[in-house]
Each structure stands twice: as C-alpha cells, then as structure tokens.
Amino acid sequence: MAQGHDLAIQARGMIKTFGTTRAVAGIDLDVPRGMIFAILGPNGAGKTTLLRMLATLLRPDGGEARVMGRDLRADPDGVREVISMTGQFASLDEDLTGRENLRLLARLWGFRGLAARDRADSLLAAFDLSDAGDKQVKDYSGGMRRRLDIAASLVVTPGVLFLDEPTTGLDPTARAGVWSLIKGLAQGGVTILLTTQYLEEADQLAGRIAVIDHGRKIAEGTSRELKRQAGSGMLRVTPALGSELDRAAAVLGRALGAAVHRSAEGADLSVPVADAVEANWALSALVEEGIEIGDFRMGQPSLEEVFFALTGRPGAQAGEAQA
C-alpha cells in the first residue's frame, strides 16, 4: 500500500448520519496522488455525502481524513486551499456571464483587477467558451455549463479535484468531451476523485474504483481486479426468442447454481462459469429444455456484472452513453 505522503486522500472510518439513516457508515479510502479514483454506486449509496465530507462541506460524525496531507478536522481551511469541488448541479451564477463567473472566482482566489480578467479569459479559451464568454450562463447548453463549471474549479490548479457525477444528464457527445477533459487533467498531475453511477464511466476513466452500497465500501480495486472478483469468466447467452428469456434464465440458474444476470438491454443473460466444461454443461441444459440459442460467448465480466455479483442488484446503466 502507498505511504501516507504519497496519498492525496487518506480517510479512515468516515461516518455521516442523517437522522436515523447512516448515509456513510464507516468508509476507508486511500487515493494515491495523480490518480483518477472513482466512487461507484447506485443512487443513495452515500457517494455524494462522502465527497461532501472530504470537500469540507459536511462535518463528519466520525472518522478522520487527510487531504494532501492536511487534516480535515483540524485544518479545513487548509484543505480548502488545495481542493476544488464541482458539485452535481452546475454551481454557477446563472444571471452572470461565463466570463463574470470566472472573474468572480478569480478575484476570490486573490487575482486582482486585470489579472482576474486575464485568468478568466485564458480559462474561457482553454475550455472553448471564448465566444460564449459574454452570454449569461442561463443561455448555456448542458455541455457548456459543465465545461464552465469545471473551468471554475481550475481557477487555481487544485491538488485534488472532486467531481460529483460529472456527466449525469449530458448527451453522449458532451459526455465524451468531459471524459477527455478529466483524463487530460489527470495527465497534468491533478488527483481526481469522482463519483458516478455509470459503470462504463468508472471503467473508462478510473485507475481505481471503490464500489459503495448502503454507505459501505463493498469492493475496491482496479477495473480488472473487480472483474476478477465476479468470477474467472462469464458465459453470455442470447436465446433466439426473446420470449424464452425467463425460462432460459431459470434453466441456467438451476444448471450452475449461480445467480443469472440479465443485461441492461434485456436481450442477453450472463452467468459466471469456472471453465469451458461448465459452460458446455450449461449450454447442453438449455438445448435439452428445447431452448434455441441465438448466440453465446465466453468473456470477462463487465463492471455491470461485477456490480450485480457484489450487490445482488443490477447497476445503473450508462444509458444514452452506450449509443
């Protein structure tokens, strides 16, 4: 494991309770410097609460954390000097123009007059927003808002950038744009901690992934390691007739004694198998039941299947991003 000083974030036993609900119920997190680290989980898993605690916006009820070596409890202002937070909803002043939003933040960081104007201009140029710089933010598209929002988090280069569901609600093109932006930032040396409910997003971006459910971390590792946890291989079967999906799932489950996962699109079934012999056994069981197989293949599990294996529930889909 990495040494303390190599870690951008080191959190132990983080707890947050709202009323009687334990939103975060004791989470440890080690995020190495310069890495994109994803917190993956369904809605209400506690991802945002964990992020808000680490970004000094919520006081933890238990646990301790250091961000870039600064203690979250003892020195929250010190933490604020080395982080930037981009919340789930674009946190911009809609009445002001993009340029004014950036100038406002630049002045709050200590840039004066002309320097603040220059800083805003170079951020606008860098994020391809120069032409829209004098438009009010309320007239921006979703993708433009997100870019301005991220630009606003880079007025000074942070040590750690927190991104709460950076692509929720974006169309596929805008999403791809934000992804390449995040990758570029990490290449520049910024540590990024992002939350997502999209398995595809975590798989695409993150060096490490922590899977969170009901306020607890249920798994952590690289995408490859997590996939290995779900079993050595997956057998994917597409019945020729969509109407036989339920029956085929029951037969596979009985034959292998394992949970059968139905894909997001609803056309395939996947089930973990130890080896080709087991796969063969499962396919024969289908044939014996008179279920015609349209297609089958063996492969590594997807993150979605991993999530299913870990939680017993299907993960959220990347939705339109799969298009």
Partner 1 sequence: MTDMTLGPIARPARGGPLAVERPPRPSALSNALVFGWRAVLKFRHVPEQLFDLVMTPIMFTLLFTFVFGGALAGSPGEYLQFFLPGILVQTVIFNSVYSGVGLCTDLQKGLFDRFRSLPIWSLAPFAGLMVGDLLRHGIAGGIILAIGLLLGYRPEAGLPGVLGAFLLLFAVGFGVGWVFLVIGLLVRTPMTVMTFGFTFIFPLVFASNIMVDPGTMPGWLEAFVRANPVSHVTTALRGLLSGTATAGQVGLALIAPAVLTLLLAPVVLALYRKK
Residues engaged in binding partner 1 (CB under 8 A):
52, 55-57, 77-78, 80-81, 83-85, 87-97, 100, 104-105, 107-112, 115, 119, 122-123, 125-128, 136, 143-144, 147, 152, 154, 156-157, 173-174, 176-177, 180-185, 187-190
Q: Which is nearer to partner 1, 65 or 269 (CB)?
A: 65
Round to whole Å and give the CA distance between 134 and 294: 56
Amino acid at the residue 79: V
Least separation in angstroms between CB 50 and partner 1: 15
User: Are the beta carbons of 54 and 131 closer than 8 angstroms?
Assistant: no
Q: Which is nearer to partner 1, 59 or 297 (CB)?
A: 59
269 to 116, 294, 321: CA distances (angstroms): 56, 12, 21
Least separation in angstroms between CB 78 and partner 1: 8
Q: Which is nearer to partner 1, 83 or 252 (CB)?
A: 83
Residues 6+ apart with CB under 8 A from 262: 245, 249, 268, 269, 314
Least separation in angstroms between CB 315 and partner 1: 26
Least separation in angstroms between CB 27 and partner 1: 20
Q: Which is nearer to partner 1, 49 or 270 (CB)?
A: 49
Round to whole Å and give the CA distance between 149 and 73: 27
Q: Which is nearer to partner 1, 186 or 303 (CB)?
A: 186
- Helix ranges (H only) for the chain are 47-54, 76-82, 98-109, 113-126, 142-152, 172-187, 199-205, 223-229, 245-256, 276-288, 303-311
Least separation in angstroms between CB 84 and partner 1: 7
